[in-house]
Amino acid sequence: MPTVVLMDVSLSMTRPVSLDGIEEFQRKNLAVHGLNMLFEHMASNYRLEFTSLMAFSSLWELLVPFTRDYNALQEALSNLEDYDKTCVEAALNGVSNVVQQEWGSYHHTSVFIVVLVTDGSLGIGKGSLRHSLQTLKQRGDDKKFPLPFPFPTKLFIMCIANAEELQMTDAMDNLEELLRLSGGDGQIFTMEGPLCMKSVQTMFGKLIDLVYSPFHAVLHCGNLSSDVQVFPRPEPVVMDEEVEPMPRTVSTDLEIVGFIEIADIASPPVISRHLVLPIAVNKDVDEVGTGTTDELEEEPSASQMAGKSPNFCVLLHGSLKVEGMVALVQLGPEWYGMLYSQADSKKKSNLMMSLFDPGPEPLPWLGKISHLGPISEAADNPYGEDDSKSPFPVQPQVKRSYAQNVTVWIKASGLQTDVQKILRNARKLPDKTQTFYKELNRLRKAALAFGFWELLKGVADLLERECTMLPDSAHPDAAFQLSHAAQQLKLASTGDSQYAAFDHNIVPMHTDFSS
Amino acid sequence: MLFPDREALPSQVFHQICKMKMFSVAHKTVFVVDHCPYMAESSRQQVECDVLTKSRAQGVIPLAPVSKSLWTCAVECSMEYCRILYDIYPKDKLVNYIVSDSEFHILNSWRREDQSTHELMSALAAVGPPNPREDPECCSILHGLVAAVESLCKITELQHEKRIALMDTAERVANRGRIICLTNAKSDTHVRMLEDCIQETIIEQNKLAAGSDRLMAIQQCELVLVHIYPQGEDTLVSDRPKKEISPLLTSEVHSVRAGRHLATKLNILVQQHFDLASTTITNIPMKEEQHANTSANYDVELLHHRDAHLEFFKSGDLHMAGTSTRENGLKETVTLKWCTPRTNSIELHYCTGAYRISPTDVNSRPSSCLTNFLLNGRSVLLEQPRKSGSKVISHMLSSHGGEIFLHVLNSNRSTLEDPPSISEGCGGRVTDYRITDFGEFMRENRLTPVSESSHDPSGKLPAERAKAQLERHTRYWPMIISQTTIFNMQAVVPLANLIVKETLTDEDVLTCQKTVYNLVDMERKNDPLPISTVGSRGKGPKRDEQYRIMWNELETLVKTHAGATDRHQRVLDCIIACRSKPPEEEDRKKRGRKREEREDRTEKNGNKEMDDKSWQDSERLKGLMDKDEQESEVIKDSPDSPEPLNKKPRLTSEEIQPPERSKGPVSLLTMWSNRITAVNSRKHQEFFGRASSVNNKFELYQHLKDENGMDVHENGKATR
């Protein structure tokens, strides 16, 4: 979930914050303080996040392109200059451009977080947010308002102002409209109490808790386990707002249920992908090898120590990679995902977790997950003794239309093909007796269902004609079968329940030419 | 005022799965098809079914073309609608089919087992075409429409299940539905009369439903009235877009000529009603029927859920993505290019959606060629044509268990790129993980579908039993090679594989015992053991030490399972009986009374069953051994038997952490730490303080006390 920080550097941000007696700040200083806090937090707890920093006034500028270098972001913050008036629309166009240039057009698999930091004075005249929103409906295609973005977005508006101040003007209404236009996902934060370092910290603290708090969990495989961070944070999910309005959240205990071959899981659809990074929660967990290493080397750093103590994630990752398997993992009640090894182009490899749609049966070809059991319970190993078989995919009870030779005559060609097939086989009687009757019965069934009795009569006529055109060399059985079939079709076309039953089949006439 | 601070709504921040509601109008569709005498009229669209080949044409009078009746057109188009629907939504998008003449005939129910085109075709065959001689005055579509409203009030299995599951929030289960009426209406006034009648019936039925458990009031009903008239006639009914008749009822009217126009209309409707979209696969190479060595390229159109085009919709520019507008201007399809599959390599694609497909022209040759190819297990990648000419693989067609899915592949740049490699993180620098062994473990813990009917007496679902098996298999599972001896020994394999089982047969116990005897034999022959020398100076522990480590580890493994059944216990008993004399005894002889006291105390404190039991068992066994355990006698007396152990005082795993012992079953971590500590302790002379500590505590600076004759400190804690 890459982040774009959009920092208002208009003149109004330089308004001083009146604090009796104490040192004087500008709103900009507060904003920078809050962002510094955010970046510091991300550097230590959420460092895989790509973040970019943009400044805007009536123009916009990309100060730091998407990066994980939080020092660079903080340095750019310290060099901010002051410009003219606020123009949110231009800045949002900038966000759209920057994101699409960096991540490609129409990115749809990742949510982008836009953190708009402003004092809530949203410009004046043309280019002001008020003006932008008022003229929303009077725009041509070339000048569309940038929201909603062509990629999934969460918009967080950090106001260096209190709610009361914003409500005195229409600023809050306009910001709410902005949030609504962005798709409604996100939040407006305002400062509580006096504008000071402490209240700005509180406000950014809330953003951090909501969006950037690392997701820690324990990955279990029976008694083996590992503390992990799941990155990015798995988001709560709502499957059906009406039946189950409460969002489902991923449990902090991730329990492996069992293992499945990559070929069997077959590139399943997932709602999100996450890195599963082992973390050392207790620095003093393991003392393996300390007896031998400590005399020569210096005191090893905590991370070196953690690197040296065996971790279940590394073991799991190694074996998943070697065996070409995935681990099925339970994320909560009736919610599952899979763990697998993912290698990037640089041959770096990682343990990844993908989340399936919540529900008891996210992948039809596995059946209900709760009904997957250990192979040891089966009488014979369902994978075969030499791994030559697989119990997957699970077959559906009813075949789909394309797998069961259905009859569709919507296009004339469909009907013509079916009739021709019967005639072709009719000319090869008695060799093709079985196929002839199979095709005949297929046509008969469809004609009866569609109430298409005229066709039955027509085909009966055709068969009778074929009968008269049989060459002298024809087998005598051909004539018998043709007239028998024609007669049966004619009887069916009367709708007489004795002959027109759907499940009835015309059977070949019993003849004996063996003597 | 809106929310000045939106923190009141933290739930605003969640991922909304973009799908239709479970109980939208699409959950229940009632087809009401007119079976009155005028439906027997010809559609006047003729089909030539006697296509004569040139060679046979001479002298043969071709059969007169046949023409479908209005009824036949209505039935086959509605069946096509159902076919597509059932292909794409095999579950819980339900159809109830009603035929109306002088009365109504309900051909199936909402029950899942009734939901198939085969069922419907069979029922339709029983109905047959309309009887043209029936009295038109008695016949009306109204009978069917009233029945349709009644049917919509009937609860479906899914509604029932969800209401039960939701308990006190059962009201969240909505009841909505759609009525698709295929009829030949007389006029716009006639249509209005039908709408009014449905509206009245809904109100009446809703009153009835209020007092019933098996009925639900209708919250929303969508009437789609399709007026069918023969080719070449003018329509008496005008088209009308959807309008609201009442908060409960909306209605739309489509006036369509019978034949292919009707088919096109219903194809568009099924797409609208079920959020479908169309994709045309182009450039499919196919062998020509006549000329087997040439191949031509074909196109096949597929329908599927429109989310498979989500990326194109988001872009707001469908044309870019290769959309073509059909001649009728109504239907749009996205074109994707076939990429001839390479080898059948197994790859885990990053796939953001998989949607069932249904071919629009199911039994055309190109369609069936494509579907058969896929059903045979091949997957096909699809390329999205881009103006720039760059190649982007955006989709994949693949079948799973006889169902074909259109997978959406991620073609975006990953936002997780360039993460630190797993080797850079925790545990990343450890190099001797038991990767192969864990691979074997994973294969043993693979999953398999278990039929829902097979009920386990424990009442546990199969997935729970799978987890229980994982638990059993990991009670003692060292992760690295240098932490284990027994798992590096081929000789232990039979026992290690068996002991983790939930139950053992007598034969299993015998195999385990044989394994143990075999180990005893190895010990007697002084066979080397694969003890890791990693981290130890010199040659590592002596042979007898090695065996002691091995036996301890084996005992640890088996102890974790001994409580399961008597047979598991018997395996443990065998190990305890056969292994070289437990060190505790020797230790005790050498140590002073202090230790005895400590052990007694620990024994008294130990309150958890498992530990107690194993202790008691080992005590009991020691007694047994002294008396009549022949095998152990033999070993003791054998000239090959190892030297007496414990030349110097050392710690056993029990000694080091008495606090853990008293807490309950030993954790895996404790077991390892114990073992590792035990190993390490052997490499140096034990600290005097620790060796003679009480409760792992030893008073420091005792000499000061002696010298000064006063109590200076409390006992300091002996640190490691």
Residue A99 in tokens: 């994101």
Residue A304 has pLDDT above 80, yes or no: no
On the question of pLDDT at B115 being above 80, the answer is yes
Compute the count of residue pairs across chains A and B with CB atoms less than 8 Å apart.
516
CB A265 within 8 A of CB A393: no
Closest CA to A213 of A200, A231, A228, A191: A231
Cβ-based neighbours of A457, under 8 Å, separated by 6 or more: A489, A490, A493
Chain B 658-697, CB below 8 Å of chain A: which residues? 668-669, 672-673, 676, 680, 683-684
Tell me whether residues B400 and A266 touch, CB distance under 8 A.
yes
Rounded Cα distance between A359 and B162, Å, is 13
- Dist CA B653 CA A42 (whole Å): 44
pLDDT at B260 over 70: yes
pLDDT at A205 over 60: yes
Reply yes or no on whether the pLDDT at B356 is more than 50: yes
**How does A361-382 read in b/e, with b if 16+ C-beta sit within 10 Å?**
bbbbbbbbbbbbbbbbbeeebb
Q: Check pLDDT > 70 for residue B653.
A: no
Rg of chain B in Å (alpha carbons): 40
Output the pTM of the full model: 0.83
Best interface-test mutation with A: which of B78, B371, B448, B677 has the largest number of A CBs within 10 A?
Answer: B448
- Give the residue-averaged pLDDT of B699-717: 54
Is the Cβ pair B447, A348 closer than 8 Å? no
Last residue of a domain, one of A196, A212, A228: A212
Question: Is residue B465 within 8 Å of A384, Cβ to Cβ?
Answer: no
A44 lies in some domain: yes
The pLDDT-based confidence of A348 (bands split at 50, 70, 90) is confident
Cα–Cα–Cα angle for A224, A227, A233, rounded to 5 degrees = 130
Measure the CA–CA gap between B651 and B677, rounded to whole angstroms.
9
Which residues are A55's β-sheet partners? A7, A61
Name B325's bridge partners.
Answer: B332
Residue A328 falls within a domain, yes or no?
yes
Residues forming beta bridges with residue B99, ordered by sequence position: B33, B105
Q: Is A302 domain-assigned? A: no
Which chain B residues have a beta carbon less than 8 Å from that of A395?
A: 401-402
pLDDT at res. B707: 55
- B601: tokens are 């105390």
Residue A275: helix, strand or coil by DSSP?
Answer: strand
Asked if B434's CB is within 8 angstroms of A173's CB, the reply is: no
Residue in chain B closest to A343 (alpha carbons) equals B421
- Residue-wise DSSP of B348-378: ---EEEEEEEEETTTTSHHHHHHHHHHHTT-
- Give the span between the Cα atoms of B513 and B511, in whole angstroms: 5
Look at residue B637 in the predicted model and tell me its pLDDT: 36
Domain coverage including residue A127: 2-212
> Mean pLDDT, to the nearest integer, of B480-499?
92
Model confidence band, residue A434 (pLDDT cutoffs 50, 70, 90)? very high
Helix (H, G, I), strand (E, B) or coil at B394: strand
Q: What is the CATH number of the domain that holds A199?
A: 3.40.50.410
pLDDT score of B278: 94
Instruction: Say if residue A146 is in the same domain as residue A260.
Output: no
- Mean pLDDT (whole number) for B621-626: 44
What backbone phi and psi angles, to 5 degrees, belong to A75?
A: -65, -45
pLDDT reading at B654 higher than 70:
no
A155-190: pLDDT as tens digits: 999 999 989 888 888 899 999 999 999 988 899 999
Measure in Å the smallest separation between the Cα of B10 and chain A Cα atoms. Answer: 8
Three state DSSP letters for B25-74: HHHEEEEEEECCHHHHCEEEEEECCCCCCHHHCCCCCCCCCEEEEHHHHH
Give the model's pLDDT for residue B688.
67
Task: Tell me what pLDDT residue B59 has.
Answer: 66
Q: Are B406 and B304 in contact (CB under 8 A)?
A: yes
Tokens in use for B553? 């580890």
Are residues A44 and A171 part of one domain? yes
The answer to whether residue A108 is domain-embedded is yes
Output the DSSP codes for B461-519: -HHHHHHHHHHHHTSS--SBGGG-SGGG-GGGHHHHHHHTSSS--HHHHHHHHHHHHHH
Residue A278, CA distances (Å) to A342, A419, B480 in order: 15, 66, 17
Buried-state track B79-97, b at ≥16 Cβ within 10 A, e below 16? bbbbbbbbbbbbebbbbbb
Query: β-strand B332-339 against B392-400: which pairing, if any?
Result: unpaired
pLDDT tier, A20 (very low <50, low <70, confident <90, very high otherwise) = low
Instruction: For chain A, give the mean pLDDT.
Output: 88
For range B250-254, the mean pLDDT: 97
Q: Which of A235, A316, A318 sits opposite B15 (nearest CB)?
A: A235
Greatest mean pLDDT among B450-459, B573-582, B651-660? B573-582
Q: Same domain for A355 and A419?
A: no
Over residues A189-204, the mean pLDDT reads: 91
The mean pLDDT of B673-698, rounded to a whole number, is 70
A394 with B401: Cβ contact below 8 A: yes
Tell me the residue type at B203. Answer: I
CA distance B683 to B545: 11
Residues A119 and A174 in one domain: yes
3-class state of residue B571 by DSSP: helix
Through-space distance between the first and last CA atoms of chain B, rounded to whole angstroms? 66
**Average pLDDT, stretch B277-285?**
92
Q: Are residues A176 and A266 both part of a single domain?
A: no
- Quick: pLDDT tens for A30-66: 999 999 999 999 999 998 999 999 999 989 999 999 9
CA dist., res. A474 & res. A471, Å (int): 5
The stretch A258-271 carries a mean pLDDT of: 94
pLDDT at residue A243, rounded to an integer = 86
**Do residues A126 and A165 both lie within one domain?**
yes
Nearest-CA distance from A25 to chain B in Å?
Answer: 25
Between B553 and A18, the more confident residue is: B553
The closest CB to that of A371, out of B364, B438, B449, belongs to: B449
Peptide bond into B528 cis (omega under 30): no
CA B211 to chain CA mean position, Å: 40
- Measure in Å the smallest separation between the Cα of B39 and chain A Cα atoms: 11
Q: Which residue has the higher pLDDT, B58 or A173?
A: A173
Q: Verify that A133 and A166 share a domain, yes or no.
A: yes
pLDDT tier for residue B331 given thresholds of 50, 70 and 90: low
Say yes or no: B268 contacts chain A, CB-CB below 8 A. no
- Reported residue count of chain B is 720
Q: Taking a C-beta distance cutoff of 8 angstroms, is the pair A364, A345 a contact?
A: no
What CATH number is attached to the domain comprising A233? Answer: 2.40.290
Whether residue A254 is found in the same domain as residue A207: no
The answer to the question of residue A292 being in a domain is no
Range of lowest pLDDT (A205-209, B495-499, B630-634): B630-634
* Chain A residues near residue B124 by CB distance under 8 angstroms: 449-451
**B427–chain A nearest CA distance, Å:** 4
CA distance B154 to B215: 5
Q: In terms of domains, do A192 and A260 share one?
A: no
A406 within domain boundaries: no
Peptide bond into A430 cis (omega under 30): yes
Indicate the range of B59-63, B188-192, B392-396, B472-476 predicted with least confidence. Answer: B59-63
**Rounded distance, CA B74 to CA B86, Å?**
18
Residue of A nearest to B497 (CA): A376
Q: Are residues A29 and A138 in the same domain?
A: yes
The domain boundary residue, chosen from A397, A426, A443: A397
Backbone angles phi, psi at B221, to 5 degrees: -135, 135
pLDDT per position as a tens digit, A393-409:
998 888 999 999 899 99
Contacts of B230 (CB under 8 A, 6+ apart): B41, B42, B43, B44, B70, B257, B258
In this prediction, residue B296 carries a pLDDT of 83
Percent of chain A with pLDDT over 70: 93
Residues A367 and A483 in one domain: no
Average pLDDT for B239-261: 95
Tokens 């040192």 locate to A23
Distance CA B559, CA A303 (A): 35
In a domain, A509, yes or no: no
Mutation choice for A interface testing from B15, B388, B479, B483 by most A CBs within 10 A: B15
The C-alpha atoms of residue A97 and residue A76 are separated, in whole angstroms, by 20
Residue B686 banded pLDDT, cuts 50, 70, 90:
low
Whether residues A451 and B130 touch (CB distance < 8 A) is answered with yes
Q: What pLDDT was estimated at residue A514?
A: 62
The pLDDT of residue B714? 43
Q: How many domains does chain A have?
A: 3
Q: Which sign does the torsion angle of CA B546, B550, B555, B557 carry?
A: positive
Mutation choice for B interface testing from A107, A180, A223, A294 by most B CBs within 10 A:
A223
- Looking at the fold, whether A79 and A181 belong to one and the same domain comes out as yes
Residue A243 lies in a domain: no
